[in-house]
């Protein structure tokens, strides 16, 4: 049976030691040693596993100088005091420790409620502290008195598993844990490692190598509720051993684990099994720190209530659990949908009952997820719900902070919103945060060496935490689907995510996102696809690229110009130009047509405007493109709607443009700039007006046609100059697009007709063939060059009569007049 050591110095001074009213032993020869505490996070980082004693939960380590000051030898027992708490601990030598530092096990720090860098006091232990009389105390090797009965209670925790099989494993781990003496006091928290090793399920193999072993490591925490022994008075600390102590387990309890993460790491380090990487998903460390600071001062006589806002998948739930883990608190999560009822009185009673349940489990966090208003239009019902929340918060809930998760904080009525002491609004993660999240999500996933998570993080701007999780899951699904189609699998390449898998997952998300309002993506429109407009290209690139390449120029507070209004006749390439800017600058692109934001319900149109701008901020750097801006922002006071909806939309649009739009460039396009609200054209808003007119000369028209036919397979005799010469000068870019599209369509029809003629001729001449020739047989034997469709000069000439200019001469004159008016307006700014 193992024993614990007590110093000979304590043996010599035991007869002269006295006990104060607080239980703190002191005498004239022993000096109280005050040291600053540092946590031990890994036992094998400080001592050899084979040299440590059985007891490690109550362990302190000091330098040789401090051992001499205390007059004890290594492995002796000492008393450790922090404020009004005292605990027996074993002291060991730490050769590299500073003389003002004491290293302490996290369990001892937990039981003393001691935090990093706080001061503790140490003195040698006396015989009565461990239930040994003076005669036995004279021996060099002594053991604290053995407890006859100990009652322990499992600590309720967020990852608790209650299956019968799991409980059996915990029981076996408890027996193994107490097979050696354990030094415990009433109220102590201790951890039991549960380590399971089993063969990995793999496909049958002819290899003689042993199957890989999967190691599952867990730590379960318990608290000592009561201890009994035949010795009277009952000593401060007792030894607990399986063969001599009756161990009784009671029901679950709730308590704070202030060093939970370090306690797990510390406990697993004693098993000698290599620790697996942490699987705790950590997001938004700044928000977690803020949440911990708000929840931490539990000693203050006040209730804490917090509202966390964010769209679905933004990480509200993960944030709460991250903060709870830092504080060592249990989370009682209740979905508000479970409390909702058709009866308002039943809803209020359900809320009160949940609060009572949380109070019975204190200390814990009461987390109301998916909070929403059951009756948005009933102000009296909202007031009653707000009053009930205020009543619950004002109760004695110091140990039960309330956290509510909502999707939009603005949807909360003022009375309910004022009930919360703090608010956190979660935005989409930045590029650095997305990279960190992707690294955590792929930590246990095999990645191909060519995969660059930095590039994926850049391409997923504006994605929420939930969308990033779905992205990795979709990429894994694509990988598995590809594996299932193979005839044989190389074990070394059995499961590896490649760029192709991530590309497919991103395209899938973009396809789903395209169904919603204000969704973003990086377009694929090059400058080569835009013919002409060189002067407009240069002006826009100077305005957009300067803040991106040289942000230091705007660090002094000079506001960047971020508003551009493209105006001109229809079909001149305004939307195409905006997409080309986003592609060339590698920026996200959000395209919104004015009518898409309008809604028949009061306040919904303004809400849509806010959401679109927020999505643009989340996806920065981003171009927010408003097509048909005149339909969204007409001149105020002249609208035909009696409710003033358009006036409120314009005011909301002005408010958003005037807000912080760092690396968000707002581009508007309109055919009627004279109908737009004049306040939008003032400096600081759409203060850069660019006219996109029709091509004024043949060389410019030639550039447009060359851009449109860049991917065509033209016949050698095609002369695009001759094609342009046949076109009128009032052709817009859309007209040239129609011309090229019709020419290509005619070429395809001719190619199909030639193929049908070839098949018909072959079948007529080959009368002895058993199977007649058909199109599929011909296409299967044709090369890529044979399949190409050539567009000839005749196709362009035949297509020209089908294209009617979309802008007449009178309309061109009208737009030129508008151009002169707005140019003079811009020069006057």
Instruction: Catalogue the long-range contacts made by 715-721 (C-beta closer than 8 Å, 24 or more residues apart).
Output: 715/790, 715/791, 715/792, 715/793, 717/792, 717/793, 718/791, 718/792, 718/793, 718/796, 719/793
Q: Please, which pLDDT band fits residue 398 given cuts at 50, 70 and 90?
A: low
> Residue 281: which pLDDT band, with cuts at 50, 70 and 90?
confident
91 has pLDDT over 50: yes
Strands (E), 613-725: 622-627, 664-670, 688-691, 713-714
pLDDT at 137 over 60: no
Averaged pLDDT for residues 806-812: 86
H-helix or E-strand spanning residue 307: strand 305-309
Mean local confidence (pLDDT), 272-280: 56
Contact 413, 378 (CB under 8 A): no
pLDDT cut 70: percent of the chain above it? 80
User: Could you give the 3-state DSSP secondary structure of residue 254?
Assistant: coil
Q: Which class in CATH covers the domain with range 4-142? A: mainly beta
pLDDT tens digits along 513-562 = 655 555 666 677 877 777 777 777 777 777 777 777 766 666 555 566 66
pLDDT of residue 303: 78
The span from the CA of 472 to the CA of 405, in Å, is 25
Q: Which residues pair with 689 in a beta bridge?
A: 565
| Host H or E run for residue 564 | strand 563-567
pLDDT at 828: 54
CA–CA separation, 415 vs 407, rounded Å?
Answer: 18
pLDDT of 139 higher than 70? no
Does pLDDT of 727 surpass 60? yes
Please state, in angstroms and rounded to a whole number, the distance separating the CA atoms of residues 400 and 256.
11
User: Each residue of 663-678: pLDDT tens digit?
Assistant: 888 989 898 888 888 8
> Rounded distance, CA 670 to CA 629, Å?
6
In this predicted structure, which of 218-227, 275-284, 307-316, 629-638 has the lowest mean pLDDT? 275-284
Q: Which CATH class is domain 149-198+214-269?
A: alpha beta
Domain at 698-806, CATH from 1.10.10.10, 1.10.8.60, 3.30.360.10, 1.20.1430.10? 1.10.8.60
Higher pLDDT, 613 or 786: 613
End-to-end CA distance of the chain: 93
Which part of the chain has CATH 3.10.330.10?
149-198+214-269
Predicted pLDDT of residue 206: 40
Check pLDDT > 80 for residue 399. no
Sequence-ordered alpha helix ranges (H) in 243-363: 260-269, 285-295, 316-327, 336-339, 344-360
pLDDT tier for residue 189 given thresholds of 50, 70 and 90: very high
Percent of the chain with pLDDT over 90: 11
User: What local confidence, expressed as pLDDT, does residue 381 receive?
Assistant: 72
Checking DSSP bridges between strand 622-627 and strand 422-425, what pairing results, if any? unpaired
> Between these two residues, 352 and 495, which has the higher pLDDT value?
352
Indicate if the alpha-carbon torsion angle 89, 94, 99, 101 is positive or negative.
negative
Separation between Cα atoms, residue 34 and residue 83, nearest integer Å: 12
- Say how many residues make up the chain: 829
Residue 295 has pLDDT above 60, yes or no: yes
Using one digit for the tens of pLDDT, what is the confidence trace for 685-698? 887 888 888 887 88
Q: What is the pLDDT of residues 596-626, one digit of tens each?
A: 888 877 788 888 898 889 888 888 788 888 9
Q: Per-residue pLDDT tens for 60-80?
A: 999 999 988 888 888 888 899
Kindly tell me the sign of the dihedral angle through the C-alpha atoms of 483, 484, 488, 492: positive
User: What is the homologous superfamily of the domain 521-691 according to CATH?
Assistant: P-loop containing nucleotide triphosphate hydrolases (3.40.50.300)
pLDDT at 299 over 70: no
Query: What integer best gives the mean pLDDT of the chain?
Result: 79
Instruction: Provide the pLDDT for residue 70.
Output: 87
Dihedral sign, Cα of residue 192, residue 197, residue 200, residue 201:
negative
Enumerate the CATH 1.10.8.60 domain ranges in the chain, comma separated: 431-508, 698-806
662 burial class (0-12, 13-18, 19+ CB within 10 angstroms)? middle
Compute CA distances 116 → 37, 108, 110, 581, whole Å.
6, 12, 11, 53
Which element (helix H / strand E) includes 811? helix 809-827
**Bridge partners of 123?**
79
Confidence category of residue 289, pLDDT binned at 50, 70, 90: confident
CA dist 110 → 104, 291, 365 (Å): 10, 21, 19
Dihedral sign, CA of 764, 769, 773, 777? negative
User: What pLDDT is attached to residue 492?
Assistant: 53
Residue extent(s) of CATH 2.40.40.20 domains in the chain? 4-142
Highest mean pLDDT pick, 40-44, 167-171, 225-229, 379-383: 225-229
Q: Is 804 exposed, middle or buried (0-12, 13-18, 19+ CB in 10 A)?
A: exposed
Q: What is the mean pLDDT of residues 167-192?
A: 87
Structure-model confidence comparison of residues 347 and 736, the more confident one: 736
Tell the CATH topology of 285-425: Rossmann fold (3.40.50)
pLDDT at 394: 67
Question: d(Cα 399, Cα 260) in Å, to the nearest integer?
Answer: 18
Is the predicted pLDDT of residue 643 greater than 70, yes or no? no
Residue 638 banded pLDDT, cuts 50, 70, 90: low
CA distance 494 to 480: 9
Question: What is the average pLDDT across 572-597?
Answer: 82
Q: Is the dihedral of CA 772, 777, 779, 783 positive or negative?
A: negative
- Which two structure tokens, joined as six digits, stand for 697? 């000369």
Q: Is the pLDDT of residue 149 over 70?
A: yes
**Measured distance CA(313)–CA(310) in Å, rounded:** 8
pTM: 0.67
Taking residue 649's Cβ as centre, other Cβ atoms within 10 Å add up to 24
Helix (H, G, I), strand (E, B) or coil at 418: coil
The fold for domain 431-508 equals Helicase, Ruva Protein; domain 3 (1.10.8)
Measured CA to CA, the distance from residue 306 to residue 534 in angstroms comes to 54
**Which residues does 237 contact at the CB level (< 8 Å), separation at least 6?**
58, 87, 88, 129, 130, 144, 183, 184, 185
DSSP-derived pairing of the beta strands 520-521 and 422-425:
unpaired
Domain with CATH 3.40.50.300 in the chain: 285-425, 521-691
pLDDT at residue number 276: 52
Query: What number of other Cβ atoms are within 10 A of residue 570's Cβ?
Result: 14
The residues pairing with 402 across neighbouring beta strands, listed in sequence order, are 305, 366
Q: Give CA separation, 321 vs 161, 201, 327, 330, 653, in Å.
A: 17, 32, 10, 9, 37
Which one, of 5, 10, 189, lies nearest residue 106 by Cα? 189
Which tens digit of pLDDT belongs to each residue from 197-240?
Answer: 555 544 444 444 444 444 567 888 999 999 988 887 888 888 88
- Tokens read off for 278: 């942490």
What is residue 22's predicted lDDT score, i.e. its pLDDT?
46
Q: How many CA atoms lie within 13 A of 12 on its CB side?
A: 8
Report, as an integer, the average pLDDT of 337-361: 81
2 and 181 in contact (C-beta within 8 Å)?
yes
């Amino acid at each position: 049976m193992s024993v614990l050591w007590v110093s000979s110095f304590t043996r010599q001074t035991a007869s002269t030691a006295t006990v104060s009213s607080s239980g703190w032993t002191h005498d004239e020869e022993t000096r109280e040693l005050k040291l600053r505490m540092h946590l031990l996070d890994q036992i094998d980082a400080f001592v050899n596993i084979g040299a440590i004693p059985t007891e490690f939960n109550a362990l302190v380590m000091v330098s040789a100088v401090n051992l001499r000051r205390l007059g004890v030898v290594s492995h002796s027992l000492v008393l450790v005091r922090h404020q009004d708490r005292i605990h027996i601990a074993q002291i060991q030598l730490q050769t590299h420790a500073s003389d003002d530092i004491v290293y302490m096990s996290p369990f001892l720090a937990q039981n003393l409620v001691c935090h990093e860098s706080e001061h503790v006091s140490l003195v040698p232990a006396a015989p009565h502290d461990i239930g040994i009389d003076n005669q036995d105390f004279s021996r060099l090797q002594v053991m604290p008195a053995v407890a006859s009965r100990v009652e322990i209670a499992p600590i309720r925790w967020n990852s608790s598993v209650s299956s019968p099989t799991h409980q059996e494993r915990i029981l076996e781990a408890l027996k193994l844990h107490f097979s050696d003496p354990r030094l415990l006091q009433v109220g102590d928290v201790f951890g039991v490692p549960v380590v399971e090793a089993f063969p990995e399920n793999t496909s049958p193999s002819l290899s003689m190598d042993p199957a890989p072993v999967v190691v599952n490591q867990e730590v379960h925490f318990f608290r000592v509720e009561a201890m009994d022994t035949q010795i009277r008075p009952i000593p401060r600390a007792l030894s607990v051993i399986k063969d001599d102590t009756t161990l009784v387990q009671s029901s679950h309890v709730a308590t704070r684990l202030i060093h939970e993460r370090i306690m797990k790491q510390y406990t697993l380090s004693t098993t000698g099994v290599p620790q697996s990487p942490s699987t705790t998903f950590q997001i938004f460390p700044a928000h977690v720190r803020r949440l911990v600071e708000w929840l931490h001062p539990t000693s203050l006589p006040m209730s804490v209530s917090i509202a966390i806002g964010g769209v679905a998948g933004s990480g509200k739930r993960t944030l709460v659990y991250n903060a709870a883990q830092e504080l060592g608190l249990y989370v009682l999560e209740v979905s508000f949908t479970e409390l909702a009822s058709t009866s308002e009185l039943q809803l209020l009673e359900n809320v009160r009952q949940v609060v009572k349940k949380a109070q019975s489990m204190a200390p814990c966090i009461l987390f109301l997820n998916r909070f929403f208003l059951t009756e948005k239009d009933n102000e009296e019902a909202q007031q009653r719900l707000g009053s009930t929340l205020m009543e619950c918060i004002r109760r004695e809930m110091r140990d039960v902070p309330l956290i509510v998760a909502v999707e939009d904080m603005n949807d909360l009525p003022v009375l309910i919103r004022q009930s919360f002491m703090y608010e956190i609004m979660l935005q989409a993660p930045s590029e650095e945060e997305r990279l960190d999240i992707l690294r955590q999500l792929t930590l246990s996933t095999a990645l191909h060496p060519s995969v660059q998570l930095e590039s994926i993080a850049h391409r997923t701007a504006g994605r929420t935490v939930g969308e990033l999780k779905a992205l990795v899951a979709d990429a894994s699904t694509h990988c598995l689907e590809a594996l299932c189609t193979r005839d044989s699998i190389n074990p070394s390449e059995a499961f590896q995510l490649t760029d192709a898998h991530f590309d497919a997952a991103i395209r899938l998300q973009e396809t789903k996102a395209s169904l919603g309002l204000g969704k973003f993506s990086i377009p694929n429109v090059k400058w080569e696809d835009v013919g002409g407009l060189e002067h407009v290209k240069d002006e826009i690139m100077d305005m957009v690229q300067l803040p991106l390449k040289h942000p230091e120029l705007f660090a002094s507070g000079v506001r960047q110009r971020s508003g551009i209004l493209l105006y001109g006749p229809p079909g001149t390439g305004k939307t195409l130009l905006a997409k080309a800017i986003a592609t060339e600058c590698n920026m996200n692109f959000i395209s919104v047509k004015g009518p898409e934001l309008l809604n028949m319900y009061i306040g919904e149109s303004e809400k849509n405007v806010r959401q679109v701008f927020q999505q643009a901020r989340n996806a920065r750097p981003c171009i927010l493109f408003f097509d048909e801006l005149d339909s969204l922002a007409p001149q105020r006071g002249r609208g035909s709607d009696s409710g003033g909806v358009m006036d409120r939309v314009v005011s909301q649009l002005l408010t958003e443009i005037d807000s912080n739009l760092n690396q968000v460039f707002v581009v508007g396009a309109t055919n009627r700039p004279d109908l737009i609200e004049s306040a939008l054209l003032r400096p600081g808003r759409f203060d850069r007006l660019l006219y996109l007119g029709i091509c004024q000369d043949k060389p410019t028209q030639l550039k447009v046609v060359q851009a449109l036919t860049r991917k065509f397979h033209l016949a050698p005799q095609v002369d695009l100059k001759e094609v342009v010469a046949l076109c009128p000068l009032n052709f817009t870019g859309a007209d040239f697009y129609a011309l090229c599209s019709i020419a290509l369509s005619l070429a395809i029809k001719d190619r199909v007709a030639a193929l049908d003629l070839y098949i018909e001729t072959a079948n007529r001449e080959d009368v002895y063939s058993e199977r007649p020739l058909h199109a599929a047989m011909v296409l299967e034997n044709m090369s890529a060059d044979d399949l190409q469709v050539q567009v000839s000069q005749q196709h362009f000439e035949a297509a020209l009569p089908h294209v009617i200019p979309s802008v007449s001469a009178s309309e061109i004159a009208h737009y030129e007049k508008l151009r002169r008016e707005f140019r003079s307006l811009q020069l006057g700014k």
